[in-house]
Structure formats: C-alpha cells, structure tokens
Amino acid sequence: MGLRRHPARAPLATHLRGVCACGWRGTGLHPIDWSRVEEERPYDTEIPGPHADWQDHIEHVEARTVPVPAELDALVAELDMRLRSLADDAPLAALRVVAVLERLVGRVGMVAAFHTRADEVPWESVGRALGLTEQEARSRVASYRYRS
C-alpha cells in the first residue's frame, strides 16, 4: 500500500487491497480517490476493487466449505444489517448486543469444538469444512475449546 502526505497531517494511503479475517490478502492494489472519501465517516466509503476481490475470495471459500442452512444464513444477514443500523443510531445498545453475541459464540463454539474433537473429525476435513488450512483450523477450534 503506497502512502502520500496530506498537508499538516499524517501520510494517507494511496492504494487498498482486499483482506479477510481468515488471513487471506488480495494481490490487487486499488487506488484511493480521496476526493470521494467523506472526512467524518471514512469507514463508510466503498472502494469497489478490494470488495470485489474479497467477494471472489469468499465465493471460493464457500464453494469448498460445509453449507450453512439457508434460514440461518438469512438470519445472520438480517442480524448484520440491523446491528450496523443500531451501531449508527444507538452505539451503546449495539455494543450491548455485541457482548451478548460474543458470549453466545463462545458457548456454541465450545460445544461445537468439543463435538468436532469427540467425533475425531480429521483436521484436514475440519480445515476444508471451514475454508481454512489444517493449521488454521487447529487454531480456530482450540480458540473455542479453551475459551474462558
């Protein structure tokens, strides 16, 4: 990612690349048009190139992974939309819901991780099902199993 200097401020990025929470990093660099970035809410600016690269990555990962039931997938998408809106309108309420979800994820993740290991699912299969490498899968499952 290149940098340019803004008068009287820290350097500004000149390009972006797509990234994913799984560790994937896109190879394409996409220029930033700073004239289109809203100064008060720069995080709301959409730069289509990195997002398209990420979408392509997600499609490839989802094609290799265990499918999620359609009704649960729709529920998660609805929750995402509502939480984004709540974060704008009532950020403290959004943080409260996020805390509840973190506890829920911890509990469900621990049970799912336990069953994955109790059923002796091979690590290669776990990785493929999650769209991760075997090592990343081991780390992810351990993070749920040993969460306090």
User: Is 29 within 8 Å of 68 (Cβ atoms)?
Assistant: no
Q: What is the pLDDT of residue 8?
A: 60
Report the alpha-carbon distance of residue 121 to residue 141 in Å, rounded: 12
Q: What is the pLDDT of residues 102-137, one digit of tens each?
A: 999 999 999 999 998 888 888 988 888 888 889 999
Q: What is the pLDDT of residue 100?
A: 97
Give the residue among 94, 84, 1, 82 at the shortest CA–CA distance from 44.
Answer: 84
Average predicted confidence (pLDDT) for the chain: 86
Q: What is the pLDDT of residues 64-85, one digit of tens each?
A: 778 889 999 999 999 999 999 9
User: Is 53 within 8 Å of 26 (Cβ atoms)?
Assistant: yes
In this structure, what is the dihedral angle of CA atoms 67, 118, 113, 69, given to the nearest 10 degrees?
20
Q: What is the pLDDT of residue 117?
A: 83
126 CA to centre of own chain: 19
